[in-house]
Amino acid sequence: FTRELEELAAAQEQQLASLREQITQARITQQRIVPLMRSMADALENFVILDLPFHQDERIGAVLELKERLRQPDISVSAKFRTLLEAYQLEQAYGGNVESWRGPLVFGGEDLSVEFLRIGRVALYFQTLDGQVSGYWDAAQRDWALFDGDYNRELARALRVAQGLVAPQLLQLPMPVLGNQS
């Protein structure tokens, strides 16, 4: 009987040692992952700033809110990590869809009401509500540029497709050149 108790005590001591080691490893992991998460949030913020300028206030606000959550001590590391991954997934989802919306645009010193069209992360266009002025975001210049009038009708058709007013179809819009072309 004494031998069984000694074996049980030895087994429990081994379990305690194993648990202590796991706790130590968890603390080390936590100490390493928190700075990594902060770095990932900073990278996401830079990405949003350098990306096409759509829903900028909303997207940057979401990143700033994420960074604030990462600093809160009452939130578990796993909850912080989950929130970070959700933010990355939300930004990633913008790359695979087409969207249109109405909003203001300051162009050439004028306040315009326009319809915007975003095609993934590849192109961002605008057209005035009267359909007379159309343009695109020039990523190289980090500014809006005008199309000639030849594209007004095609952009209007693309906006109707994005709004679900007509069936999807092949669009013939000029695609701005992205990045450094050497």
What percent of the chain shows pLDDT beyond 90? 64
In the predicted model, what is the mean pLDDT of residues 150-169? 90
Confidence of residue 181 (pLDDT cuts 50, 70, 90): very low
Q: How far apart (Å, rounded) are the C-alpha atoms in residues 86 and 77?
A: 14
Is the per-residue pLDDT at 26 higher than 80?
no
In the predicted model, what is the mean pLDDT of residues 59-70? 96
Residue whose C-alpha is closest to residue 137's, from 119, 149, 152, 150: 119
In the predicted model, what is the mean pLDDT of residues 65-72? 95
In the predicted model, what is the mean pLDDT of residues 12-19? 90
The dihedral over CA atoms of 120, 123, 143, 44, expressed in degrees to the nearest 10, equals 20
Is the per-residue pLDDT at 182 higher than 80?
no
Summarised one tens digit per residue, pLDDT across range 78-123 is: 899 999 999 999 999 999 899 999 999 999 889 999 999 999 999 9
The dihedral over CA atoms of 43, 45, 46, 52, expressed in degrees to the nearest 10, equals 130
Q: How far apart (Å, rounded) are the C-alpha atoms in residues 12 and 124?
A: 64
Summarised one tens digit per residue, pLDDT across range 135-148 is: 999 988 899 999 87
In this prediction the pTM is 0.76
